Structure 1
Amino acid sequence: MTDVDRTTADPAATGARGEGLDARLVVDRGSFRLDVTLTAAPGDVVAVLGPNGAGKTTALRALAGLVPLDDGHLRLDGATLDRTPPESRPVGVVFQDYLLFPHLSALDNVAFGPRCRGASKAEARAIAAAWLERMNLAEHAGAKPRRLSGGQAQRVALARALATRPRLLLLDEPLAALDARTRLDVRARLRRHLDGFEAVAVLVTHDPLDAMVLADRLVVIEHGRVVQEGSPAEIARRPRTDYIAQLVGLNLYQGRADGHTVRLDAGPAITTTEELSGPVFVAFPPGAVTLYRDRPSGSSARNLWRCEIAGLESHGDQIRADLTGELPLAADLTTVAAAELGLHPGASVWATVKAAQTHAYPA
């Protein structure tokens, strides 16, 4: 059976497992320098997150060969790709706006890659048909992109990227163009497809939910550098920068621990259940904060600070209060509670957090 036959029979086939991705991406752009190391084993899905301007897209384009490296290396399954032109790399890319050819049907869009790799028209179309079947798009094989929904176009773009049997799949904000309802369905479908992908997948996103659901490991970059990496659970449990804390929805502080007391670098002390010594981070969710208009006398909370409401905004089905004062923090409360407290910008409040609801860990 030929490679084309195997791919037609089993679209999930991506070749024998290799060594995966080993890259140090160094790109100089005047005042900005990207210096990021990425490693992944075959079958891994790695999400690269970071604020705007952090270097996420530059890293993805460097992996694709669209941006040359100024230093570092790029090895995939043991082969060095530093100087390999983009069209010769075993890399598939799904761009944010999908970039489907508007004049081609869904079938011919998917068949385009295999045709470029030397397959005959009939072979390429057989491969494409198998992938569209796998994506539950067989009935849309003859449709032009303008006749497809956002979710259908995303799946065609994914099928086109996978039809060349890449050893590295790059996903650039693959769900960003979808509305909220479609996003839920397509995210679940994409997770299933990635579960069956035996090579390396790198996902670039700004959406923490996409990253948490789709990826096995997160790499967070800021200012062109990796600031934290680990499993989604590790990142969510122990954020190490303000950006990551906001991403996972936690208040985060840094200070020095002496037993159960953490003296913050800038601010008051926080009492924790953990007994630590030396530099630490302390985190707690906005939902752990209880607000009072008057200083509470019967509260069992060990942490109490006088604050002022800096702003209020809707946050899901709750109200998120931005507080300044002794300890800047975010607090979540119900709309009813906010109304009963008479909260408004400039109002003085007391904020409490129980020690059991904080989490301290070494810095």
Structure 2
Amino acid sequence: MTDLDGTTTGVLTEGLDAHLVVDRGTFRLDVTLTAAPGDVVALLGPNGAGKTTALRALAGLAPLTSGHLRLDGTRLDAMPPESRPVGVVFQDYLLFPHLTALDNVAFGPRCRGASKAEARAQAAEWLDRMGLADHAGAKPRRLSGGQAQRVAVARALATRPRLLLLDEPLAALDARTRLEVRAQLRRHLAEFEAVAVLVTHDPLDAMVLADRLVVVEHGHVVQEGTPSHIARHPRTDYIARLVGLNLYRGRAEGHTVRLDAGPAITTTDELSGPAFVAFPPGAVTLYRERPTGSSARNLWRCEVAGLETHGDQIRADLTGELPLTADLTTVAAAELDLHPGAPVWATVKATQTHAYPA
């Protein structure tokens, strides 16, 4: 088996080995996932891509149309969901509102046959590991969003699953809490000895929490690899937007990539054949008049289609010879008198582009 990033893998006797095929009306999910014990895999993709369907299939909540689902060499697709060694943390946590944090966590071990005393002892241990020992007697309505999330993770881990599934685990948190809980979750996942699969549409969650990203679009895997590999080698417009790059496809001849639609781009990379070329919006320099002394090898006449605040900068959406985005300071945007419809010249140095095989 060969991954899209060129990594060769075999059939796994430990960990996750899944080929998930699910038909739902006109939508078809067809995704292959493999992961070794200790791996954290993030399923990343736009809304409607099939991420949640894949998670539900792994949990046994969506039956497979075909394919297979093996965990540590055992077929799971023939087992009822409640019998699977799988823990799930849902987006809204789904804690039992009438139970304390302790009894929420103890619920799983009780369902697996532990006595009430044993289950509560295990739950107390997990709450302590999550830094929630002082909140054992609190019911969910008295917990903050971050505390509820940690109770949900503890409840999932208390059954000692061989597969941990997390569905947008940070989506319900405000920005400040999210930063803190993301760091805590990263630590807990690093200590988890089995397979963890995280579903998210947030690239930062995926980059921070996962060892490997699997990008799904329209029900299919379009790219997979380490976060650093994908950030540097996006293969679709969706991924390029996530990692903040302008991305084009064409045919390389030496240091020139002739685009399928548009002009050529000069790069310092030397290639031959189908290629992608990418560069960040910050690499773009804008002029109102055609520059005469610029050392940039790439020069295009464009028009401002739109402007928006992007962090502490202004992001310009440009159309024309080469549609692209450019980042510039507020002062630079004011000095250039940028506004929708304004003509501009855009330059990018060859040294700031990156070309790679398509």
In 1, the alpha carbon distance for the partners of 2:312 and 2:161 equals 42
Of the three residues 43, 46, 57, the one matched with 2:38 is: 43
Distance 2:82 2:25 in 1: 27
Q: Of residues 305, 311, 320 in structure 2, which corresponds to 1:310?
A: 305
SS of equivalent residue, structure 1 residue 240? coil
What are the superposed Cα offsets for residues 170-211 of structure 1, whole Å, 9 maximum, x if unpaired? 000000000111011000000000000000000000000000
Query: Amino acid of the residue matched to residue 157 of structure 2?
Result: L
Distance in structure 2 (CA, Å) of the matches to 1:244 and 1:318: 22
Change (3 A) 1:18 1:115: farther
Measure how far apart 1:25 and its partner are: 0.2
Q: Residues of 1 paired with 2:93 and 2:51: CA distance?
A: 18
Indicate which of 201, 206, 222 corresponds to 2:201.
206
Which residue number corresponds to residue 358 of structure 1? 353
Equivalences for 1:70-109 in 2 at 5 Å? 70-109=65-104
How far apart are residue 18 of structure 1 and its match? 6.9
SS of 1:276's equivalent in the other structure is strand
Give the residue type in structure 2 aligned to 1:55: G
Among residues 23, 27, 44, which one is paired with 1:28 in the alignment? 23
CA apart distance, 1:298: 1.0
Match of 2:144 in 1: 149
User: Structure 1: how far apart are the matches of 2:276 and 2:170?
Assistant: 33
Correspondence for 1:298: 293
| Contact 1:309 1:349 (C-alpha < 8 Å) held by counterparts | yes
- Trace 1:102-181 onto structure 2 (pairs within 5 A): 102-181=97-176
Aligned CA distance change for structure 1 residues 129 and 110 (closer, same or farther; 3 Å): same
Is contact 1:306-1:348 (8 Å) kept? Answer: yes
Normalising by structure 1, we get a TM-score of: 0.95
Deviation per CA, 1:232-282, whole angstroms, max 9, x where unpaired? 000001000000000111000000011111100000000000111110000
Q: Is the aligned partner of 1:335 residue 2:330?
A: yes
* Alignment match, 2:225: 230
Q: Deviations over 1:319-352 (max 9, x none)?
A: 1110000000010111111111111111111100
Separation in structure 1 between the aligned mates of residue 310 and residue 335 of structure 2, nearest angstrom: 18
1:5 — aligned with what?
Answer: none
**Aligned partner letter, 2:268:** T
Task: Provide the residue aligned with 2:9 in structure 1.
Answer: none
Q: Is 2:183 the counterpart of 1:188?
A: yes
- Structure 2 regions of 5+ residues with no counterpart? 1-11
- Measured after TM superposition, the shift of residue 83 of structure 1 is 1.5
Task: Indicate yes or no: 2:273 matched with 1:278.
Answer: yes
Deviations 1:11-37 (A, max 9, x none): xxxxxx970000000001121100000
Amino acid of the residue matched to residue 277 of structure 2?
A: V
Partner of 1:4: none
State the AA in 1 paired with 2:153: L
Structure 1 segment 221-260 matched on structure 2, within 5 A:
221-260=216-255
Q: Secondary structure at the match of 2:91?
A: coil
User: Per-residue displacement from partner, 1:63-103 (whole Å, max 9, x unpaired)?
Assistant: 00000000000000010011211100000000000000000
Matched residue, 1:3: none
Amino acid at match of 1:289: V
3-state secondary structure, aligned to 2:331: helix
Task: Supply the distance in 1 between the matched residues of 2:339 and 2:143 (Cα, whole angstroms).
Answer: 46
Query: Could you tell me which residue of structure 1 aligns to residue 316 of structure 2?
Result: 321
**For structure 1, which runs of at least 5 residues remain unmatched after alignment?**
1-16
- Say which SS state the counterpart of residue 14 (structure 2) adopts: coil
Q: Give the whole-Å Cα distance in 1 for the aligned partners of 2:169 and 2:260.
A: 40
2 CA distance for matches of 1:314 and 1:96? 30
Between the aligned partners of 1:173 and 1:74, the Cα distance in structure 2 is 22
* Equivalent position SS for 1:306: strand
TM-score by length of 2: 0.96
Count of residues in correspondence between the two structures: 347
Contact 1:18 1:42 in 2 (8 A): no
**What pairs with 1:49-60 in structure 2 (closer than 5 Å)?**
49-60=44-55
Give the aligned residue type for 2:180: D
Partner of 2:7: none
CA–CA distance in 1 between the matches of 2:46 and 2:171?
A: 15
Secondary structure, counterpart of 1:194 in structure 2: helix
Matched letter for residue 99 of structure 2: L
Query: 1: distance between equivalents of 2:186 and 2:254?
Result: 43
Deviation at 1:58, TM superposition (A): 0.1
Runs of 4 or more consecutive aligned structure 1 residues displaced over 3 Å after TM superposition: none
Residue 199 of structure 2 is aligned to residue 217 of structure 1: no
8 Å CA contact 1:283–1:360 kept in 2: the answer is: yes
